[in-house]
Copies of this chain bind each other. A is one copy, B any other.
Amino acid sequence: MPQNISRNPGRHFLQIPGPTLVPDRIMRAIDSQLIDHRGPEFSKLAKRCLEGIKTIFKTTNPVIIYTATGTGAWEAAFVNTLSPGDRVLMVETGQFATLWKAMAQNLGLKPEFIPGDWRTGADPKQIEEHLRKDKAHEIKAVCVLHNETATGCLSSIAAIRKAIDAAGHPALLMVDTISSLASTDYRHDEWGVDVSIGGAQKGLMLPPGMSFNAISDKALEASKTSKLTKSFWSWNDMLNMNKQGFFPYTPATQMIQGLAVAIDMLHEEGLDNVFARHARAAEATRRAIRAWGLEILCRDPQFYSPTITAVLLPDGHDAEAFRALALDAFNISYGTSFGPYARKYFRIGHLGDFNDGWILGALSLTEMALGLAGIPHKKGGVQAAMDYIESSHSRAARAAAE
């Protein structure tokens, strides 16, 4: 921001990997006067949300809606299904996997952490091998992030399901889909996930303050013998009250108002169109990065994330300084870096409610910021992104015409 200015014009380019920009229509639904959360009108609204959210997780089972952010839903997944001392298998995909592991420890579980270099997704084979060794079936849950928000690596949940089955292991499968849900295909039922953990503030286009547990029958069964203490997070009370469209304690009513609209909007666009839009933005972003001659943190294309792309800077360049400069000069925010690569990369979020023009604007700012920051790069990144997006539209137009 130039000197002597106390306001940034235009809309901030919020390219962090969530929370994402909230569409006006959702904001206006949140901005409605409160109604009795125990009355008939609210009950109708809540039922609509409780049914609707199932279509987003692709499940016919109940989905629990928490007034809490994703971290709370992580905790809920554990305390409802496991008991003190239970072994859980987790995979070190990055910072969020590491935080989730730390939570397991805090709650008295015994996490086993398959090590990773923070540049790929989870390897189903390693999971299978690890489980095969557990002949006594002491491992009670396998916990994986669908999309590691810290690195932009997406794991194949379908393949992990197969790996567990191949090992003949009865462990529950718990999946964090916080930064992938409603942005790329996710199939709770078909992939045999037992607890899917989701959040409001990414693909669902809501502000933060709401999170989810989609649960399988097997998880529900496990909850009956689970011995970790639970009260606020208890599925049981929730499931009972939800049947009437109510909650055991006051829910975040305005988030529920927003959720109803968010689900409508996703279906109005069409989930497959939503996924295609994210995939297009992700590929455009990667092409820009390659054209700049920079390196993508995710080192194996099979793990490329549709929602977040992390960009490594050349040695000697500080990613935090770059982020500060870009914010100051161009009013754009990126995600920060973590762990072994702290200060070495920045993350571009391309998820939520955006369109082609917006992403190209963000990439333009990035290309210029690289220039201002004196980071060695080639020009042409935006051009490469535009070429790709234009050709996608041409193909789509041809397909529609045929």
Contacts and interface: CB of A to CB of B under 8 A. Distances in A.
Interface string A87-119: 000000000000000110011100000000000
Contacts of A106: 229-231, 234
A156 interface: no
Interface stretch (A9-17, A45-53, A188-196): A9-17
Contacts of A22: 33-34
B107 A229 contact: yes
Contacts of A270: 4-5
A10 B353 contact: yes
Nearest to A31: B31
A269 to B, nearest CB: 5
Contacts of A331: 355-357
A382 B273 CA distance: 27
Protomer copies: 4
Contacts of A371: 390, 394
A380 interface: yes
Interface stretch (A139-147, A160-168, A217-225, A362-370): A362-370
Interface residues of A, number: 109
Contacts of A20: 34
Nearest to A325: B397
A371 B106 CA distance: 56
A395 to B, nearest CB: 11
A2 interface: yes
Contacts of A341: none
Interface in A259-281: 265, 268-270, 273-274, 277
A168 to B, nearest CB: 31
A336 interface: yes
A121 interface: no
A273 B232 contact: no
A339 B71 CA distance: 34
Interface string A365-397: 101100110000001101100100110011011
A354 B19 CA distance: 22
Given A4-B273, A232-B71, A30 B31 contact: yes
Contacts of A250: 18-19, 69-70, 199, 201, 208
8 contacts: A5-B268, A7-B269, A11-B33, A16-B36, A30-B31, A207-B254, A360-B382, A364-B382
Q: Across the A-B interface, give the 9 residue pairs with the lowest CB-CB distance, nearest first.
A: A361-B361, A10-B355, A209-B252, A360-B364, A31-B31, A7-B268, A357-B361, A71-B249, A36-B333
Given A10-B357, A67-B69, A368-B389, 17 more contacts: A4-B273, A7-B268, A9-B353, A12-B33, A14-B35, A16-B38, A38-B336, A68-B68, A71-B232, A75-B231, A84-B229, A329-B397, A357-B365, A359-B361, A361-B364, A364-B382, A371-B394
Interface of A: 2-14, 16, 18-22, 24-25, 27-28, 30-40, 67-72, 74-75, 84, 102-103, 106-108, 199, 201, 207-209, 228-232, 234, 248-255, 265, 268-270, 273-274, 277, 327, 329-333, 336, 353-362, 364-365, 367-368, 371-372, 379-380, 382-383, 386, 389-390, 393-394, 396-397, 400
